[in-house]
Copies of this chain bind each other. A is one copy, B any other.
């Protein structure tokens, strides 16, 4: 359905070309510091039109909080946040009304829902991820109070053939955001930028990998069988449109699987901070694999398309991780220990 989480619950709504997108966050306790500016800042990191490597569509994506917050504190009631869709250039989409776009989900959507919203991607559009960022920003407001040590930072570690082999030592989001590609290695970032500008001009595209690092985890988050931490994180990030794989650890897992156990287990971080489904307190490294976006035959439209969604997907990955962690944190409180 359209709800994610059990105790910290994010329900999203909105078609990309309807009146508005939004989210209702339920289960956030009372008294958490939260402002519209905090949510807006998170949305601004995902916003289209940020740089020359992203779509030139420029959507302001101004958020309004309709409930759940009073005098910059959460009330403990559901927090509803809405973003009006302003860039509804329906003329761009007019001719889409009749034809299914190749490489999009139009055909399967029509077979499932027995109609297709002629205005465009509807719920399958990448625009739905702004609702995830709203949810993530509120999850992070909660976690900032509850688990101040916790830091989730994601970055672009691969675009096409350009691979950042060694995960960087602890970085801040500000350091990642410093380059429009969100690749923290300046030399690699320059190569990626050049390729993306070229792909954008040609209507071509690139996939790649976003790596996320979670530091300062409390131990014991997750559930032993079906709610394993890796299961919940996998579910969260593979729910992002173009994601086609996920793995744990610092680098290409497939290559490491050639090793015997006696070799594989020599380095500590191969566990990725998770054992028996539960966090063990060590950093978690999660790699999220994105396929390239569908390419465009019609170069005239190329400017209004992202040649690579990874730079803008970084805050989406962080958001989904934060929603999972907020939910698991609340669960951990519901399992009291009385010594």
Contacts and interface: CB of A to CB of B under 8 A. Distances in A.
Contact of A239 (B65, B209, B226, B244): B226
A6 to B, nearest CB: 8
Nearest to A160: B258
Given A11-B3, A225-B239, A275-B105, A145 B112 contact: no
Interface stretch (A13-21, A38-46, A50-58): A13-21
Given A207-B257, A234-B235, A260-B199, A77 B112 contact: no
Given A104-B276, A239-B228, A77 B261 contact: no
Interface in A183-207: 199, 204-207
Nearest to A106: B276
A136 interface: no
B257 A209 contact: yes
B225 A30 contact: no
A337 B114 contact: yes
Interface residues of A, number: 127
A24 interface: yes
Contacts of A339: 114
Contacts of A239: 225-228, 230-231, 277
A339 B66 CA distance: 25
Interface of A: 1-4, 6-7, 9, 11-15, 18-22, 24, 26-27, 29-31, 64-68, 70, 73, 75-80, 82, 103-105, 107-109, 111-115, 117, 119, 122-124, 128, 145-146, 158, 160-161, 199, 204-209, 219-220, 223-228, 230-232, 234-236, 238-239, 241, 243-249, 252-254, 257-262, 264-265, 270, 272, 275-281, 287, 289-295, 330-331, 333-339
18 contacts: A2-B26, A13-B26, A13-B67, A15-B67, A19-B64, A19-B65, A20-B80, A22-B80, A31-B113, A77-B122, A161-B258, A230-B239, A245-B253, A246-B247, A247-B247, A257-B291, A264-B291, A330-B335
